[in-house]
Structure 1
Amino acid sequence: MRSILVFFTFIYISVAIAQQETMPNNKVQNYLNSIPNQPGVGQSPFTCYVIDLSNNKIIAKHQESMRIPAASTMKLVTTAAALNILGANYTFKTQLAYSGSLDKATKTLNGDLYIIGGGDPTLGSRYYTEDGEESDFLMAWADSIKESGILHINGRVVADGSAYEYQGSPSGWVWGDMGNYYGAGPNGLTIYDNMLKLYFDTKAIGSDAKLTCTIPYLPNFYLGGSIQAAKSSRDNAYVFGAPYSLDWYITGSIPYKREDFMVKAANPDPELTFTHEFNQALQAQGITIKYFPETKRNLLKDSNYQMPALKTIYTHESPSLLSIINLTNLYSVNLFAEHLLCEIAYKRKGIGSTHQGALIAKAYLSSKFDCSGLIMTDGSGLSRSNAMSAKFLVLLLKYMKGSNNYKNSLAVAGKKGTMRSIGRKTAASGRVIGKSGSMSKMKAYAGYVNSTTGKKLAYAMVMNNYNTPTYKVKGYFEKLMVLMATY
């Protein structure tokens, strides 16, 4: 009996020693150990992992294999996959084409003019145009139609966004997000960031705001509900609506005594907006059009519809994929990320699909390193069905460490992008780069560190469902960044 007791005591001591040997002992780890003891944090899912990229030595870890939603750090996955699968110089292409025949003598098109979408998310985007110049590309397109010898269209303008599935929004997006501008879903024909600008006039506190204008024009769009004027400088309005539904609802409040106060909402039908906007641009250039504009999605409701043979007039190419990725990571542009994921599927499968894009992206990355710590259901991280472990994120960063294109797309602590407000006037400023992630009761950061001692680190930290103000969690993470920057 005594020998058995000695044996188990030996085993217990050996396990304890092994655990101590594998647990790092340094200032980063010591501070990390204290975070779960902070008020409102103890029961929160929390995963963190830090390694030295020069030797793969673990610097700090806490529940590093736990998979939890990590908000916009999912864009690190999407942009890495897009860079590797599509390439930095890849471009999205949009075609103008026509059906029927062209009478060159009368400059009359006896057929329809088609806009064939290729998933370009930059058309009229605020990230690529100045205020007031969003529709300039449409006027340039209209010029190209005139130059091709068309002054009269004995048909209609048809917008075709069928390159991507007409899914509207990715699976897992919640009702409270889909109607707001950051919840705009991908479309084969995206225009103006798939955003509606709702303008309101407000008067006295407590009075109902009056909707004065909606830009761009969306036929038959109806906005129900109401928002009140409030003694506040903030936009506290929330818009609700489903993709391809034109009956929407708004609630909340906006500042009082304002004229043309803008509330940004998602566009429920970008394809419909596109065809009307281009129709208007053509008419502004003196081109006559016989029938009202149409969409491919609406035409497909007729089971007898068949796509006609088309002749291409003009092909528009987007800025490079790298340019789009830079904006996606630096400013956390959800729509761009969703387009990147859909385009991966379009390139490989011939149809843009969030689901297929996620499968292809994960399969590709799984061929390079262990992706068991990834559950991917969208490209932007807005879906709460996503989940990632800190260890997975660090493995991804390790795999991408040689890509300057990738690293240069990231925000810089204390300097630029979505991380400009963290680490200001600390050692982390300019030394910590990465991608932030924020949703209700969710905070995350992942990226690289160039420490003051010359070490190159990769890190990830994600916390969910904390019962404390977000600024406090941000403060804990900022302290970790400062300690990593001086490690």
Structure 2
Amino acid sequence: MTNRSFIPAILFLFCMVMPGAAQQIHKSLKNKVEAWKNNPALQHAGIGVFLQDTETGEVLAQTDPQLSLVPGSTLKLITTATALEILGPDFRFETQLAYSGEIKNDTLFGDLIIVGGGDPTLGSDYFKEHYLDNHFLNHWLKALHEKNIVHIAGNLVTDATIFEDQMIPNTWIWEDLGNYYGAGASGLSVYDNLYKIHFASPPQAGQPTRIKHTSPFIPGLELENQVKSSNINRDLAYVFGAPKSDKHIIRGTIPKGRNDFVIKAAVPNPPLLLAWELKNRLTETGLSVAGFIHEKKEPDNLTLHPLAHTVSPKLIDIIRVTNHESVNLFAEHLLKYLAWLTHGEGSTKKGLDVIADFWEKRGISLDGCFLADGSGLSHFNAITTRQMVEILYFMKNRSLHSDLFFTSLPYVPNGTLYFFNPLNFPGQSLRAKSGSMTRVRCYAGEIITQNNQAILFAIFLNNFSCSQTEAIKLVEDLLVEIAKK
């Protein structure tokens, strides 16, 4: 967009001048956004601003309402809102340990099967008290001992068929695959589908580093280490590799002179890791497995006998973590589970259909909204700021779970809002979800002004030429102006 064409788009923000609250917002924002249009860093940027009174629904200010922009992780608000409305706050995922065949004396003549229920949080570091203090593997072993099983004549089978075999959405970029934030959603996920790679680096910069070990151990994985030591004192190492692939490459740099420098990566095959850990625990406690680890490829009608059930935390707790910490994995799980529940097919595509259908039936037009995943990691996502605020308005005024949803958003300086100065937004007066990727910085949520007016907002910046820090400062300054009125 040229500077000449950019100016009218910004000036449109002030075309909606109405009495009362809208007039006040108009006056408070005019100088701030006028400065934006003269900022060289925003000359070619896509800008979306939409402000709506939380109680009355009055549109206070807006830029081009039809402009579709990349929302980044603010898209998680739509995914979590849809899941909360359909599943309810008390919903829990379930993972089952079961067996086929029969038990005679101390031997299971059949397979031991881990049946995934799409739980994104099994063994998660975000829920240590729920899963790790009372470890789910201990619970499963106890169930086997109560049946007096000492020998398993069959295989150890993983069943993740509740979700499609493809863990990664089609439109995620190669740079993200293999890294922890790009972990794919499996019907049988574990430990946030991430592992840690421990490095040692030499005291000189520009030299090869050494991989000491991974935690946990990832069976069958071959790591090609191309990481060098550096004078830069931060992690600039990236893991490249597709899900289910046995070979991943690590490129980039880590700080020099480190004895144990840790980076995080995505587990390529979560069901295999879980089965491997269970088999090791079985062996340690004296239970033998005659067969092999086997991954079920298709659902079947095989009769199973349940041994143990492991349930997740409540959905609202999962949503809080998703929105506070911006966990891509959790959002993609919610999307696929909605697809399985509605269509019997746990796929990204069907999940996106569920979201679109849900909001269209509630009177929110998604014309010009293009959804590619549930987390916002895809650059192919696009939505207008009006659509984002309309969904927030529904959740605020029509949802039975309004308070639960809005308290799942972080407030300054928590979660993804840690960049903002807490002195500017005291007393939890700003609750919002942020979204960022290369040349993208977005925010959506609710702000309470000094006059106690509640305003729902979405502010999207795309394709700016300044740094992320500068973009954050621009948005923060705008929100401060809103809060003053």
What TM-score do the two structures reach when normalised by structure 2?
A: 0.91
Q: Mark the runs of 5 or more structure 1 residues left unpaired by the alignment.
A: 1-15
Q: Mark the runs of 5 or more structure 2 residues left unpaired by the alignment.
A: 1-11
1:87 aligns with 2:88: yes
- Partners of 2:280 and 2:43 lie apart in 1 by 58
1:338 aligns with 2:338: no
2:379 match = 384
Are the aligned partners of 1:79 and 1:340 in contact in 2 as well (CA < 8 Å)?
yes
Q: CA deviation at 1:173?
A: 0.5
Alignment of 1:177-326 (within 5 A): 177-204=176-203, 205-297=205-297, 308-326=302-320
2:462 match = 464
| Distance 1:32-1:428 versus aligned 2 partners, 3 A rule | farther
Per-residue deviation, residues 21-47 of structure 1 (Å, max 9, x unmatched): 569532124422331321211111111
Are the aligned partners of 2:431 and 2:447 in contact in 1 as well (CA < 8 Å)?
yes
- Partners of 2:35 and 2:444 lie apart in 1 by 20
Question: Any idea what SS the aligned residue of 2:280 has?
Answer: helix
Q: Which amino acid in structure 2 is aligned with residue 89 of structure 1?
A: D
- Partners of 1:114 and 1:131 lie apart in 2 by 22
Aligned length: 462
Out of 414, 434, 437, the position equivalent to 2:435 is 437
Question: Any idea what SS the aligned residue of 2:324 has?
Answer: helix
1:123 match = 122
- Partners of 2:152 and 2:350 lie apart in 1 by 38
Q: CA deviation at 1:381?
A: 0.2
Q: CA deviation at 1:131?
A: 13
Are the aligned partners of 1:423 and 1:482 in contact in 2 as well (CA < 8 Å)?
no
Q: Which amino acid in structure 1 is aligned with residue 347 of structure 2?
A: S
Q: CA deviation at 1:158?
A: 0.8
Are the aligned partners of 1:431 and 1:450 in contact in 2 as well (CA < 8 Å)?
yes
Q: CA deviation at 1:319?
A: 0.7
| Distance 1:357-1:20 versus aligned 2 partners, 3 A rule | closer
* Greater displacement, 145-154 / 246-255: 145-154
- Partners of 1:435 and 1:33 lie apart in 2 by 25
Are the aligned partners of 1:28 and 1:59 in contact in 2 as well (CA < 8 Å)?
no
Q: Which amino acid in structure 2 is aligned with residue 421 of structure 1?
A: F
Question: Any idea what SS the aligned residue of 1:252 has?
Answer: strand
Per-residue deviation, residues 289-345 of structure 1 (Å, max 9, x unmatched): 112222224xx6xxxx96632111111111111110010001111100111111111
1:176 aligns with 2:171: no
- Partners of 1:133 and 1:314 lie apart in 2 by 16
Q: Which amino acid in structure 2 is aligned with residue 174 of structure 1?
A: I
Per-residue deviation, residues 233-273 of structure 1 (Å, max 9, x unmatched): 21110110111111111100111121221111111111111
Q: Which amino acid in structure 2 is aligned with residue 444 of structure 1?
A: C
Per-residue deviation, residues 393-434 of structure 1 (Å, max 9, x unmatched): 110110011400100100102x31111321321146621111
Q: CA deviation at 1:375?
A: 1.6
- Partners of 2:131 and 2:451 lie apart in 1 by 48
Are the aligned partners of 1:29 and 1:59 in contact in 2 as well (CA < 8 Å)?
no
1:410 match = 409
1:370 aligns with 2:365: yes
1:108 match = 107
What TM-score do the two structures reach when normalised by structure 1?
A: 0.91
4+ residue runs of structure 1 moved beyond 4 angstroms? 18-24, 130-135
Q: Which amino acid in structure 1 is aligned with residue 115 of structure 2?
A: I
Are the aligned partners of 2:118 and 2:163 in contact in 1 as well (CA < 8 Å)?
yes
1:327 match = 321
Are the aligned partners of 2:210 and 2:225 in contact in 1 as well (CA < 8 Å)?
no
| Distance 1:332-1:63 versus aligned 2 partners, 3 A rule | same
Question: Any idea what SS the aligned residue of 1:387 has?
Answer: coil
Q: CA deviation at 1:130?
A: 6.8
Q: CA deviation at 1:55?
A: 2.2
Larger Rg: 1
- Partners of 1:258 and 1:241 lie apart in 2 by 25
Q: Which amino acid in structure 2 is aligned with residue 375 of structure 1?
A: F
- Partners of 2:258 and 2:309 lie apart in 1 by 43
Are the aligned partners of 1:370 and 1:395 in contact in 2 as well (CA < 8 Å)?
no
* Greater displacement, 68-77 / 122-131: 122-131
Q: CA deviation at 1:221?
A: 0.8
User: % of aligned pairs identical?
Assistant: 35
| Distance 1:450-1:260 versus aligned 2 partners, 3 A rule | same
Out of 459, 472, 475, the position equivalent to 1:474 is 472
1:11 match = none
Q: CA deviation at 1:285?
A: 2.2
